[in-house]
Amino acid sequence: MFSALGRFVVRRPWWVILAWVVAAAAVISLAPKLTSSTDEASFLPDHYESIRASDLQERDFPQQENIGAIIVFQRSDGGRLTPADSAVVTRVSKDLEAKKIKEVQAVAPGEVSPNKRVQTSVVAMPKITNPEDTQQQDAVEQLRKDLKGELKGTGLDAGITGSAAQALDESDASERAGLLVGVGTIVIIIVLLLVIFRSPIIALLPVVLIGLISPMATGLIAWANEAFDMKADSSVQELLTVVLFGVGTDYILFLLFRYREALRAGEDAKGAMVHAVERVGEAITSAAGAVIVAFAALTLSSLGMLRSMGPALAIAVFLTLLAGLSLVPAVVSLLGTKVFWPSKSWQREPQGTGFARLGTSIARKPAVWTVVSALFMGVLALGALGYKANFDLAGSSLPKDKESIVWQDNLEKGFPAGTTDPTFVYLTSTGDGPLAEGRPAAFRQRLESVDGVGSVAPPKVSKDGTTASYSVVLADPPASEKALGTIKDELRPAAHADAPPGTKALVGGITAVYVDINKAVDRDYSVVFPVAAIAIMVILGLLLRSLVAPWYLMLSVALGFGATLGATSLLFQQIGSQPGLMFMLPVIMYLFVVALGTDYNILMVSRLREEAREGRGPHEAAGVAVRHSGPTIGSAGVILAGTFATLMLAGNSTLSQMGFSLSFGIAIAAFVMAMLFTPALTALIGHAAWWPGHGDRAPGAGADERGRAREESRH
């Protein structure tokens, strides 16, 4: 099949290129814009308590003020606030409210902190119903400008924090991150390809071709999101850029290395390209299949952000595969050997390379290499025992010098850390009648006695008297581990247990959302991980026609995943003193390391099988496979790891964690799993690795051997 595809593309390259250009133009011009969301609550299913509490609030308290932002005031000289200062705060608040800034419902001055260090003014804004609406961010930007003028000559400093302010700062940081990641990815690919091939044409080839299919992928993903009502996470655009350029460059490299090898063997340019598509086609199709099913497994997630991310990345990889099998061979077949210009190194194979020496060493001592590589990954995996999840995607990912972060810290000098995002507890009647007189006040006293609660505001009762709402300020930052523990282990159990007869209590707010996300992620671990692993094992079994090889190949990627999570935990939590890793990072890391690690394993084992079918023994086949596939996997690993590492340029801890973990995981997958562990263990296992099939024997070899045996028995 792949041979026929190669012949078709090589014979009609212009038709193939034209088809891609027409398809790209149609998708780019007709597809909707890809949008994303930063609202964590919008990703949770309706049955979680925090979402049911939100629905109750919308039903019974539709006019309830939402704290969109908080203005924090303090003296410029660091002293205690005076009554005159408080009068200034009141005046400034009234002046800002009088400006009638869109989305600002009220600007209400609050109390001075008990230690007289800070005073707040609460900016009420309507609840966000459309995560794509940036009007509240625009309102914060205007408030910040007006606030500077209001404070001149007052002796006070002030800044704005809270959810809308963090969203504005995150949006500014994301624009910078997207630009840095895009430029960094392209620069790294060009530089590394220039070093590897010493050809400007090859260096620019992925940039031009993937630059064509990138907007196609974005358009197709936008269509899919619209058709299936999926919400994309705000980080998907940066991740999509890296996946398209990283994986796309990998597939181009797989093809070019095999093309160059065929040319060195004496084939003409067109025949060499047909040979390359035939030999590499099955490997990269299986590799892409493993990546696609791994990403598709995310559709089983209970979190909307992961459920939409999976199909998005699967679409990107599928489009990249199609381009790798058709568009790339078409362009290269037109260029012929000029694609390597001005380098002449494609004409001869270098002797005595490091990969040749490594292959010889693995062939001689496979047991040593198996143990060394397994121990290396196993020791790093021990660091995963210290893993902690962090749910503060906005606050913890922002640079520390952003205004919302600076003034959040200043706020905590005088008020409980949970002031910016209070938790809401709702006590509602389970019958038809209203709440009994006195019950709301008594329930408030029970809530105030809960450990970890800073304060509880007097209850507000709905118009029909059936529901009471309590604003609860936690003693710890809303996204901190302590705050989540307070909701999960203290406040929710107490609220449920102490709800008077005939009533029930629901706990909502952003911290409650984080608790429910944690529960959803734990559930996803038990579903997505096994399904992705089983699906990849099925693909490996079908490709290799073996029941043995898929098991140890998955063992290698499991060790690689553990090593990656361990190294990331050590770097960011122990050395970097961050509160934890982004809560969905292990899922993303697992899928990338497992799927892309399987890519490299497939390429190595496919070549090993090919060498075995040429009549080489298990040890020799492993050595030759490392010699020939090592440069391909090494180059692909360096480029893909480098493209993922560009995420660390964003200056944002969430993308930095993602960038480091994925680049480190790819490096482990390429240089330890695929280049050392897999060929060494395959050599050790020998022919049994292909049981019950005979994947390491040339077609017809079994019949020839049986015929020789029968001939010998007659004599």
Answer with the residue of higher pLDDT: 373 or 639: 373
Q: Cα–Cα distance between 640 and 151 in angstroms, integer?
A: 50
- Write the pLDDT tens digit of every residue in 337-359: 888 888 777 667 665 568 889 99
User: In angstroms, rounded to a whole number, what is the distance separating the alpha carbons of residues 363 and 345?
Assistant: 27
* Amino acid at position 382, single letter: L
pTM for this structure? Answer: 0.74
Q: Which of 155-164, 200-209, 296-305, 374-383 has the highest average model confidence (pLDDT)?
A: 374-383
For residues 584 and 520, is the Cβ–Cβ distance under 8 A? no
Structure tokens at 171: 């949006």
**213 or 698: which leads in pLDDT:** 213
CB 427 within 8 A of CB 415: no
DSSP string, 208-268: HHHHHHHHHHHHHHHHHHHHTT---BTTHHHHHHHHHHHHHHHHHHHHHHHHHHHHHTT--
pLDDT given for residue 694 in this prediction: 66
Q: CA-CA distance, 669 to 672, in Å (whole number)?
A: 6
Cα-trace Rg, the chain: 30
Angle at 321 (CA atoms; ends 317, 326), nearest 5 degrees: 150
Least confident span in 263-272, 420-429, 650-659: 650-659
Asked whether the predicted pLDDT for residue 710 surpasses 50, the reply is no
pLDDT of residue 573: 87
How far is Cα 205 from Cα 213, in angstroms, rounded to an integer? 13
Query: What is the structure's pLDDT at 370?
Result: 94
The pLDDT score that the predictor gives to residue 563 is: 93
How many other C-beta atoms lie within 10 A of the C-beta of residue 433?
A: 10
pLDDT digits (tens, 9 = 90+) for 320-334: 889 888 988 898 888
Pick the closest to residue 311 from 229, 194, 417, 433 (CA basis): 229
CA distance 256 to 355: 18
Q: Do 520 and 304 touch, CB atoms closer than 8 A?
A: no
User: Model confidence at 128, in pLDDT bands (50, 70, 90)?
Assistant: low
Mean pLDDT value of segment 66-94:
90
Q: What is the pLDDT of residue 713?
A: 36
Cβ–Cβ under 8 Å, residues 294 and 536:
yes
Kindly state the average pLDDT of the residues 555-575.
90
pLDDT of 68 > 70? The answer is: yes
pLDDT of residue 49: 92
pLDDT at site 203: 85
pLDDT at site 715: 40
Under 8 Å CB-to-CB from 245, ≥6 apart: which residues?
Answer: 185, 186, 189, 206, 207, 210, 214, 643
Task: Give 360: exposed, middle or buried? Use CB within 10 Å, 0-12, 13-18, 19+.
Answer: middle
Q: Which of 335, 329, 336, 323 is nearest to 248 (CA)?
A: 323
| SS3 assignment, position 128 | coil
Q: What is the token pair recorded at 309?
A: 């991310």
| % of the chain surpassing 90 pLDDT | 20
Name which of 38-52, 399-413, 453-467 the model is least confident about.
38-52
Residue 371 has pLDDT above 60, yes or no: yes
Dist CA 193 CA 692 (whole Å): 41
Q: What pLDDT shows up at residue 672?
A: 93
Q: Residue 441 and residue 274: Cα distance in Å, rounded?
A: 80
pLDDT of residue 709: 37
Query: What would the two tokens of residue 279 be?
Result: 């030999």
pLDDT band at 196 (very low <50, low <70, confident <90, very high): confident
Average pLDDT score, the chain = 82
Task: Tell me the CA distances in angstroms from 405 to 88, 128, 137, 350, 391, one per residue in order.
Answer: 24, 21, 15, 55, 16
For the chain, give the number of residues: 715
Give the model's pLDDT for residue 375. Answer: 96
User: What is the bridge-based pairing of β-strands 581-582 and 389-390?
Assistant: parallel
In percent, how much of the chain has pLDDT > 70? Answer: 88
The DSSP annotation for 68-105 comes to EEEEEEEETTS----HHHHHHHHHHHHHHHHT--TT--
